Chain A
């Protein structure tokens, strides 16, 4: 059974750095094709993908946020960490992590989709 759980502070102050941890079980980031993504959702708004880290340590970031985001993994602990710098009240949201699995496409290219999600952790940014 695949499970993911997000953890981190419930409240951060503006300009601070947010550090979130995704702890997972039921799969391994040592396995070829396995990845973990982070997604967020401000209250009452749509989902926004933030970042992805792959089994081979490839990393991908949201274009608008990439200067503020860093994603990393600790394979031995089955954890993925996301840091976001210079937090602002508009970053108030529920943050989710999701297993991201590979599916083969034509011409040898691979594609990745988010198939199992954690419950999310709510982060408020306020002074």
Chain B
């Protein structure tokens, strides 16, 4: 199975900061990668699919990039509603796998 890793595991930031989260796949997944946001007690919400395609209704401050094995989620100007945990997930394989998550908390 394809293994996914994320860094950092926790990120402390302030409102207005530019935030970058990294995700790495154990083998090439082309651009078959999604990013999800999850808040405590809630279901994950799709932000980005196909590595860089913004899901409908998601604010444009979220962007994704990368291909192959290295990917990045960027929040251009962190808002109060963005404090959450973010997961990457590959769907290149029929067996889906998630990264361990990156928690973005308040500095």
Interface of A with B (CB < 8 Å)? Answer: 37, 46-49, 52, 60-63, 96, 103, 105, 111-120
Interface size (B, Cβ < 8 Å)?
A: 26
Residues of B close to A96: CB separation below 8 A: 43-44
Residues of A close to B50: CB separation below 8 A: 103, 113
The 10 closest A-B pairs by CB, nearest first: A49-B96, A117-B43, A47-B98, A60-B94, A46-B100, A113-B49, A113-B91, A46-B101, A115-B46, A113-B34
B82 proximal to A (CB < 8 A): no
A46-B98, A47-B98 given as contacts; is B46 within 8 A of A111 (CB)?
no
Interface of B with A (CB < 8 Å)? Answer: 1, 30, 32, 34, 36, 38, 42-46, 49-50, 55, 87, 89, 91-92, 94-101
Residues of A close to B92: CB separation below 8 A: 111
B5 CB, nearest partner CB in chain A, Å: 11
Q: Check B94 against A49 for contact (C-beta < 8 Å).
A: no
Tell me which of B32, B42, B44, B101 contacts A111 (CB under 8 A). B32
